[in-house]
Amino acid sequence: MVLGAGMAGMLAAAALARHVDTVTVLDRDRLPGDADPRKGVPQARHTHVLWSGGARVIESLLPGTTERLLEAGAHRIGLPEDLVSLTAYGWQQRFPETQFMIAAGRPLLDWTVRDQAQADPRITVIGDTDIIGLRGDAERITGVTYKPRRQGTVSVLDADVVVDAAGRGSPMKRWLAGLGMPAVQEDVVDSGMAYATRIFRAPEGAAKRFPLVSVYADHRAGVPGRNGILLPIEDGRWMVTLSGTRGGEPPNTEDGFTAYLETLRHPLLAELVSRAEPLTGVQASRSTANRRLFYDRLVDWPEGLVVVGDAVAAFNPVYGHGMSAAALGAAALGAALEESGVGPGMARGAQRAIGAVVDTPWSLGTSQDICYPDVYIETRDPRLTRYAGERRAQADLIGEAALGDPVVCAAAMQVNTLSGAADALQSPEVRAALGRIPAGGVRPDGPTLTEEERGAAALVVANQSE
Ligand SMILES: Cc1cc2nc3c(=O)[nH]c(=O)nc-3n(C[C@H](O)[C@H](O)[C@H](O)COP(=O)(O)OP(=O)(O)OC[C@H]3O[C@@H](n4cnc5c(N)ncnc54)[C@H](O)[C@@H]3O)c2cc1C
């Protein structure tokens, strides 16, 4: 059984269904029968990019999902071809696509994945149900206790495997302590980032196809980071999200939103947004701390229990890694089931593999977040303490080179989209390319919108340098 019918829960259900007779997914929300928002996933009001690394895994677990999303109006953004981005280092050259992302509202992503999974007759999703606690002991978890929200009696559901996919708020750490297990190591890196999002109707010419436009902070500047992203989504809409680290948080008022856009490192986003019609007010969020629970490091781990998704590791959303990491975690569960069935050692093997797959997004995001002023850090990870400086210097070198060198850009895209291991950045080709810098590579000196895109967005001012 699976606790939580979010992205991690439904993908874990799909992985489980290949190895067991029935999978029951319980969620406290009444689950909508369409792409509608719901209370249990409040972050759905904000920009959610699904990187190719996650999209491919979702496709392998639930074939046909990508096509359904695109048919429902999601945009496929080729990377970096359809990207107009001012990174910390400068404007990114729009090289031919090596990776991609799916751009859609989160309710559409969630609904499509849930509906695809529910098409499997072995999977049953039950909403309106609170999970109360675990059954079993520190050696083996045998099920959960739950309570339907309206009917009100506590019941027991026995299961060979219990997957916790209850998100950032999962009570698992507390439940395991209640079983007498040793404390689990918890690392936190919190840049204090706040989010503010508003949805607009795209200008007519830009409704069907438009690049993703982003203006990012320079984390080396020693000031709070301020970012903006315009994501084209279904129904001809633009989802515009502003985000700022502690001391640079975006306001949640409409006037404040417009004023904050003007404070980004380049006026491009402000100009694009000024030509679009607002469809909503401003929504805010502060659930952005990087938090990782090292369940994989506990010496003893109960049989029959696996923790996946945000319940294991939640990331600063500005890097867009959460859903893809959840998908990779579900695939790791699938691989462990393939190897051991639901038999002894499966849960421990799966938990270790999940710990490994969350490590790349963890280190990518946290190593940048620690550069911002007033960041809260609770970690013993030497990559974020003793070796932080040299690792940062290497990441900056790659970030700089990726702007104008297609080989470095492809490697960086592969890692950032969670499509390959971080050691792609150490390949001989990348090393050779880095050796060519600064001689090689053409770096754009201003926004990279084409004339056609400028016309589509009714933008009249000329491309300007940073
Ligand atoms: C502002 C913001 C923006 C983000 N942007 C991106 C992005 O661009 N790209 C990206 O990949 N990720 C992004 N993320 C991260 C992404 O939202 C999460 O990584 C993803 O939702 C994790 O999925 P999950 O299934 O683990 O958890 P959730 O989606 O949180 O789902 C947990 C589920 O468990 C249920 N539940 C919880 N407790 C109980 C209980 N006791 N009983 C029953 N049910 C319960 C909830 O109702 C919910 O359905 C963003 C996050 C935030 C906060």
- CA distance readout (Å), 438 to 184, 398, 403, 405, 435: 46, 12, 11, 10, 8
Residue in 1, 39, 48 to alter for ligand 1 test, most ligand atoms within 8 A of Cβ: 48
**pLDDT surpassing 80 at residue 437:** no
pLDDT for res 461: 52
Alpha-carbon gap, residue 75 to 103, rounded angstroms: 5
Q: Can you tell me which atom of ligand 1 is nearest the CA of 171?
A: 41
Residue 422 is predicted with a pLDDT of 83
Test site for ligand 1: of 46, 58, 198, 323, most ligand atoms within 8 A of the Cβ: 323
Confidence category of residue 438, pLDDT binned at 50, 70, 90: low
Evaluate whether 81 touches 95 at the Cβ level (below 8 Å). yes
pLDDT the model gives residue 178:
96
Q: Which atom of ligand 1 is nearest to the CA of 4?
A: 34
Q: What's the 69 CA to ligand 1 centre distance in angstroms?
A: 19
Residue 466 pLDDT class (50, 70, 90 cuts): very low
Residue 56 confidence class, pLDDT cut points 50, 70, 90: very high
| Cβ-count burial 212-246 (b if 16+ within 10 Å, e if not) | bbbbbbbbeeeebbbbbbbbbbbebbbbbbbbbbb
Q: Considering just the CA atoms, what is the radius of gyration of the chain in Å?
A: 22
Q: Which residue has the tokens 């952005």?
A: 288
Asked whether residue 465 carries a pLDDT value surpassing 50, the answer given is no
Q: What is the pLDDT of residue 68?
A: 98
Q: Which residues contact 43 (CB under 8 A, 6 or more apart)?
A: 106, 285, 287, 317
Residues 295-328 have pLDDT tens digits of 999 999 999 999 999 999 999 999 999 999 999 9
Residue 462 has pLDDT above 70, yes or no: no
| Better-predicted residue by pLDDT, 85 or 35 | 85
Helix H or strand E segment including 76: strand 75-79
Q: What is the pLDDT of residues 120-157, one digit of tens each?
A: 999 999 999 999 999 999 999 999 999 999 877 999 99
The SS3 assignment for 360 reads helix
Instruction: Find residue 240's DSSP bridge partners.
Output: 198, 230
Which pLDDT belongs to residue 458? 85
Dihedral class, residue 258 (left if φ above 0, else alpha if ψ from -120 to 50, else beta): alpha
pLDDT, averaged across the chain: 94
Structure tokens at 341: 């069935």
**Residue 463 scores a pLDDT above 60:** no
Between these two residues, 37 and 56, which has the higher pLDDT value? 56
What are the structural domains of the chain?
Answer: 2-48+105-187+289-364 (3.50.50.60), 376-436 (no CATH)
Report residues whose beta carbon is within 6 angstroms of any ligand 1 atom: 4-9, 26-29, 40-41, 43, 46-49, 130-131, 165-167, 169, 195, 285, 287, 309-311, 317, 320-324, 326
pLDDT at residue 435 in the model? 84
Mean pLDDT (whole number) for 57-83 = 98
310 alpha carbon to ligand 1 midpoint, in Å?
6
State pLDDT tens for residues 347-402: 999 999 999 999 999 999 999 999 999 999 999 899 999 999 998 999 999 999 99
Q: pLDDT for 261-272, tens place per residue?
A: 999 999 999 999
Q: Is the dihedral of CA 120, 126, 130, 133 positive or negative?
A: negative
Residue 439 scores a pLDDT above 70: no
